[in-house]
Amino acid sequence: MAVLIDPPRWPAHGTLFSHLVSDTSLEELHAFARLAELPPRAFDHDHYDVPTSRYDDLISLGAIPVTEMELIRALTASGLRVRKPQKAPTRDQALAIAHRSWSYLALPEEIRDNILTRWQEPTRHYHDVRHLAQVLAALGSLACSDPLVILAAWFHDAIYDGVPGQDEEASAQLAETTLRATRLPAADITEIGQLIRMTATHTPTTHREALLSDADLSILGQIPGRYHVYVRDVRLDYSHVTDDDWSIGRSQVLRHLLAKDPLFHTELARDLWEAQARHNLTAELQVLNPPTHLPPSAPQGSTLEG
């Protein structure tokens, strides 16, 4: 069990960067990062990027200096290495995914651009355009080409203030108001609003709702490195919450999700994501080690799960 660091040789932001990894677990890596007071944003799926100014300091704290190839071999042998196709999309990649999705909807680009402006608000971390891209890509994995479900995905977190229930209602109302100016039938617009409101509780009652719910929660079933990026970003979305309150609230959400049977509602989503999601949720809950007096589930509408 060791934390390893390679020489600083990667240029960025006017300096050089090293990679800091664990040869055992991401939990060990995060614990070391907290000890070293590294910023959460420095975490990138399977490593922390650290500037050359911290290199000697991190070694003094216990990081073992190795060559670049030794670090890659150790990371690969640990099973923690995340290759590029498995990583969360960059914001530019997410925008490209979103633009491709919209091109099939035959709706004005002005509407697209207005929604994307909301998804790119600087205060967002997890609930940004990368989440929209994840949901759209997940719908593709579920072979969903239903324009109503896709439009609901576009609007489902278009308004995001971190207020459970209110965000979904406001997003639904935005969708209904915006789409009334198009040629979509009134019944379709109403259904899109209902689909968005469902994401407050993830309790679908129709196949369309099941598809959107599963796509929205698909991040839970990703490989651990990508899941840890998601957890980091959700924590940043709730940076105004104290660590103690975060631990309590997040633990409630994790228990609530683990109590869902099934967590995913379509057969294909269960095949793709259920087992890994339960592994990820259980591992995170164990790390939080919540007090035994916590209630067994989160109140309806809690969105700390993203």
Token couple for 236: 């940043």
Q: At 291, is the pLDDT very low, low, confident or very high (cuts 50, 70, 90)?
A: very low
The b-or-e profile of 113-152 (16+ CB within 10 A means b, else e) is eebbebbeeeebbbbbbbbbbbbbbbbeebebeeebbbbb
Q: What distance in Å separates the CA atoms of residue 178 and residue 77, rounded to the nearest whole number?
A: 51
Q: At 162, is the pLDDT very low, low, confident or very high (cuts 50, 70, 90)?
A: confident
Q: What distance in Å separates the CA atoms of residue 207 and residue 189, rounded to the nearest whole number?
A: 17
Average pLDDT over every residue of 213-219: 98
Which residues lie closer than 8 Å to 53 by C-beta, 6 or more apart? 15
Asked if residue 122 lies in contact with residue 96, where contact means CB atoms within 8 angstroms, the answer is no
pLDDT tens, 163-190?
889 999 999 999 999 999 999 999 999 9
Average pLDDT over every residue of 152-173: 95
Q: Is the pLDDT of residue 138 over 80?
A: yes
Q: Is the pLDDT of residue 74 over 60?
A: yes
- Report which of 120, 88, 127 is spatially closest to residue 235, judged by C-alpha positions: 127
- For the chain, strand residue ranges (E) read 3-5, 10-12, 15-22, 48-51, 64-65
Q: How far is CA 242 from CA 133, 233, 235, 245, 290, in A?
A: 29, 15, 10, 5, 15
Full-model pTM? 0.88
Strands 15-22 and 3-5, sheet pairing:
antiparallel
Strands 3-5 and 64-65, sheet pairing:
parallel
Average pLDDT over every residue of 237-242: 91
Q: What percent of the chain has pLDDT over 90?
A: 91
- Other Cβ atoms closer than 10 A to 65: 15
Q: Is the pLDDT of residue 302 over 60?
A: no
Q: Is the pLDDT of residue 289 over 80?
A: no
User: CA dihedral defined by 209, 211, 213, 218, rounded to 10 degrees?
Assistant: 180
Q: Is the pLDDT of residue 301 over 80?
A: no
Q: What distance in Å separates the CA atoms of residue 218 and residue 118, rounded to the nearest whole number?
A: 22
The dihedral region occupied by 286, where left means phi > 0, alpha psi between -120 and 50, and beta the remainder, is alpha
